[in-house]
């Protein structure tokens, strides 16, 4: 039987502080009605001043390790998917390794914006399939709130902070990760970007004045591409696995916009009770949204052995990705 990887534990963590649409109404020219109708978001979590991205990772990781029945010292790789790491260098995975007290193992970050978790899942899956790693901790974690212009209503109402983690281990059964598909189109880099602080625009008084250190998004154009791309992606993913939409038990989409998610579900003829949703509570948590949603459906026992689960994401790059899992 082929060697594949299996998720053996999940965990998630969101900061305590809640900011509702009504809180934003008081500071911005926006309304609960606009945000709810256009996005489906009602509130989001914001990390405390002294909370770092790796702190969020740590809490989610502890829960995933406990669920898998593993100790941090047993891990042989840590991958953190993020676009809002503790520092540009070293990696957030290095901080997480230290905080977990894991032994000397490979630890690195991946950045594919909102598709980051699925990129990380694919990399982890391949390390396991080749036999190079046996116990991988993969975390999707974001502190987006530190990279938002809180005066820009077109972006700040959309994002939130949080972390989700999974443990991957090898299996020779028919269950586990059946496929992963990754795509990007760098020609469309400026649809969603954070232009300041890199080597193109190193931090300076000028870049700060020009607000280059905040997330920028061409929302409406991104929306149209996301709907079209994701509809094709989910159908292609099922075809590649010789599955019909009716065989799916659950869709776990990236949580950017309820209208994008509903369009994908409609294309699959999937009722919304088979779609994992949490963007009403947390907003768009970028690479954390899928692992948080996965952890929720696992803990709520909404998925069971042998269920087919489809994961999909779209984000900055532009990037898009899917994974099909037999649970
Ligand atoms: N409150 C009130 N009005 C607003 C707000 C707000 N918070 N934000 C924008 N508006 C206004 C606009 O100014 C515009 O006004 P105008 O018509 O007078 O110019 C109007 O509302 C409509 O704006 P649109 O941008 O056309 O609104 P749209 O329906 O497209 O919704 C949104 C915007 C929610 C951003 C949507 O386009 C979207 O979800 N896009 C895709 C996001 C996505 O999937 N991103 C990928 C992942 S993110 C990542 O990778 C980091």
pLDDT value, residue 78: 98
List pLDDT tens digits, range 212-235.
999 999 999 999 999 999 999 999
| Residue 185 CA, ligand 1 centroid: distance in Å | 22
| Chain segment 129-187, per-residue pLDDT in tens | 999 999 999 999 999 999 999 999 999 999 999 999 999 999 999 999 999 999 999 99
Q: Is the pLDDT of residue 2 over 90?
A: no
Domains of the chain: 4-173 (3.40.47.10), 178-326 (3.40.47.10)
Q: Read off the pLDDT of each residue in 193-213 and give the average, rounded to a whole number.
A: 97
The whole-chain average pLDDT of the chain stands at 97
Q: Is the pLDDT of residue 1 over 80?
A: no
Instruction: Assess whether the C-beta atom of 287 lies below 6 angstroms from ligand 1.
Output: no
In angstroms, what CA-CA distances link 262 with 122, 215, 233, 237? 25, 25, 15, 18
pLDDT digits (tens, 9 = 90+) for 120-130: 999 999 999 99
R_g (Cα) of the chain, nearest Å: 19
Q: Is 156 helix (H, G, I), strand (E, B) or coil?
A: coil
**Span from the CA of 151 to the centroid of ligand 1 (angstroms):** 14
DSSP E strands: which ranges in the chain? 4-13, 17-20, 43-46, 77-81, 106-110, 136-143, 161-171, 176-184, 192-193, 216-217, 248-253, 308-315, 319-326
Contact indicator for 142, 287 with CB cutoff of 8 Å: yes
CA distance 61 to 99: 10
Check 21, 57, 111, 114 and give the catalytic one.
114
Q: Is the CB of 223 under 6 A from ligand 1?
A: yes
CA atoms of 9 and 77, how far apart (whole Å): 15
> How many other CB atoms are found less than 10 A from the CB of residue 213?
16
pLDDT for the residue 8: 98
Look at residue 115 in the predicted model and tell me its pLDDT: 98
| Residues 266 and 258 sit within 8 Å (Cβ to Cβ) | no
Using the atom order of ligand 1, give the atom closest to the CA of residue 316. 50
Cβ of 34 less than 6 Å from ligand 1: yes
Closest residue CA from atom 49 of ligand 1: 315
183 close to ligand 1 (CB < 6 Angstrom)? no
- CA–centroid distance, 34 to ligand 1, in Å, is 10
Q: Give dist(CA 249, CA 176) in Å, integer.
A: 15
The closest residue, in CA terms, to atom 46 on ligand 1 is: 315
Token code pair at residue 31: 């309304």
**pTM beyond cutoff 0.75:** yes
Q: How many CB atoms lie within 10 A of CB 241?
A: 14
Q: Is ligand 1 within 6 A of the CB of residue 256?
A: yes
């Amino acid at each position: 039987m082929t060697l594949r990887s299996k998720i053996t534990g999940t965990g998630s963590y969101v900061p305590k502080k809640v900011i509702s649409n009504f809180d934003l109404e008081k500071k911005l020219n926006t309304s609960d009605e606009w945000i709810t109708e256009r996005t489906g978001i009602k509130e989001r979590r914001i990390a405390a001043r002294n909370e770092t991205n790796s702190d969020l990772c740590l809490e989610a990781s502890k829960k995933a390790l406990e669920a898998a029945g593993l100790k941090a010292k047993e891990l042989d790789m840590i991958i953190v998917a993020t676009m809002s790491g503790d520092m540009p260098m070293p990696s957030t995975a290095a901080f997480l390794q230290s905080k977990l007290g894991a032994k000397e193992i490979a630890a690195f970050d991946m950045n594919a914006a909102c598709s980051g978790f699925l990129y990380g899942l694919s990399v982890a899956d391949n390390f396991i399939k080749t036999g190079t790693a046996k116990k991988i901790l993969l975390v999707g974690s974001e502190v987006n709130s530190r990279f938002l212009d809180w005066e820009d209503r077109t972006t700040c109402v959309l994002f939130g902070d949080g972390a989700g983690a999974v443990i991957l281990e090898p299996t020779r059964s028919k269950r586990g990760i059946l496929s992963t598909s990754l795509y990007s189109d760098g020609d469309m880099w400026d649809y969603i970007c954070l232009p300041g602080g890199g080597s193109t625009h190193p931090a300076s008084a000028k870049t700060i004045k020009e607000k280059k250190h905040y997330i920028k998004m061409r929302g409406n154009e991104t929306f149209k591409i996301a709907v079209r791309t994701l509809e094709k992606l989910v159908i292609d993913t099922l075809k590649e696995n010789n599955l019909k939409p009716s065989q799916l038990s659950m869709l776990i989409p990236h949580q950017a916009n309820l209208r994008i998610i509903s369009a994908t579900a409609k294309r699959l003829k999937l009722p919304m009770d088979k779609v994992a949703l949490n963007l009403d509570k947390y907003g768009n948590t970028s690479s954390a949204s899928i692992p948080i949603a996965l952890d929720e459906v696992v803990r709520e026992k909404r998925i069971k052995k042998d269920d087919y689960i489809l994961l999909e994401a779209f984000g900055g790059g532009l990037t898009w990705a899917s994974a099909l899992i037999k649970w």
